[in-house]
Amino acid sequence: MDKFKKVIQRYETARQLVSTLKEKRRLLIAECESTNLIPCPSGYGEVETGKLCLTSAFNELMETIEENGPGYDYEETLQIMHAENRCCDHCYESYGIKIGPLAEARKEFGNAKRQISRIGKELIKLEH
């Protein structure tokens, strides 16, 4: 049972880290300098206008690939746009979290889920 307890703790720690990093990304993206909130015409809430820098980078990448063919990637396009001040620091940092710590946390979370599944299957076999 001690092994199962450790796996559950690993799973829960990874789950919490994934949630925390996703929330951090969400807050950074909400501060994107290319978008703004305006009152909704219906009077309920607000509507976001403009394009996120991350969306603009993807669109620019697609246009570049259409014009010049493959050989370009999203990360390179985002770096160029950030260097040219066409991508805000919030979006750039958000993408850094996505490809770095969040990717690692998701990997750890997936590994913990698979390990729980294996232990569950072993417990089922023991019962039969």
pLDDT digits (tens, 9 = 90+) for 16-25: 999 999 999 9
pLDDT at 111: 95
Q: Which residue has the tokens 């929330």?
A: 23
Structure tokens given for 36: 């703004």
Distance CA 58, CA 7 (A): 38
pLDDT band at 39 (very low <50, low <70, confident <90, very high): low
Residue 40 has pLDDT above 70, yes or no: no
Residue 44 has pLDDT above 80, yes or no: no
pLDDT at 9: 94
CA dist list (Å): 115 to 8, 9, 14, 123, 125: 9, 12, 13, 12, 15
Higher pLDDT, 60 or 49: 60
User: What pTM did the predictor assign?
Assistant: 0.76
Mean pLDDT of 79-106: 92
Mean pLDDT of 32-58: 68
pLDDT at 120: 87
Helices (H) and strands (E) in the chain, counts: 5, 2
Mean pLDDT of the chain: 85
